[in-house]
Structure 1
Amino acid sequence: MNALQRLSETILARKSADPESSWTAKLLAKGPEKCAEKFGEEAVEAIIEAVKGDRAKLTAEAADVVYHLLVMLASRDLTLADVVAELERREGVSGIAEKAAR
């Protein structure tokens, strides 16, 4: 199991935790809208660091984006496995063809 899988499992476990005991549980308790808002904030911060070109800061912000993406997914009862399955479905399909099929 890799770090991303472990993080995903930890987030799922926090769904039933006391919000006072866990930042993740606190976010999830605020609902999907708040989780989406936090994801958006982190995405913007990652974009800013990508434009600035600071690799270390971009790496840190990218990690925040991944964490908040997984929290947002969990808030809607989706998992990392769901996203991986979708990526596998798209594997080998040209991006142009995939977009045209939507």
Structure 2
Amino acid sequence: MPEFTQEGTAKWTVWGKINQTKFSIFHYKFPLIEPIILFEGIQLASFADIAAMKIHAIEQRGTKRDFVDVYFLSQKYTLEEMLMFYQKSTLF
């Protein structure tokens, strides 16, 4: 059985580790722009939606982790595409 360690909470957010993998679960106020991905029974946001969320995170706080995530997302999408995803997600 995987070991879960809760490291913190904030309004609408829980973060922690399962074994040694860090994760966060949170409420995202904008609608998703692509369908949910089902992976081993867990609902996940698409890479395009994660890119939109990361642009939003950089706009709000801009931690080092957010920029690292955008770097890895830039292997799949251009910055222009990521900005377009963010714009599309906030139009609703």
Q: Report the TM-score when normalising by structure 2.
A: 0.28
Q: Which has the higher strand share?
A: 2
- Relative to its length, the structure with more helix (as a share) is 1
Whichever of the two has the greater Rg, that structure is 1
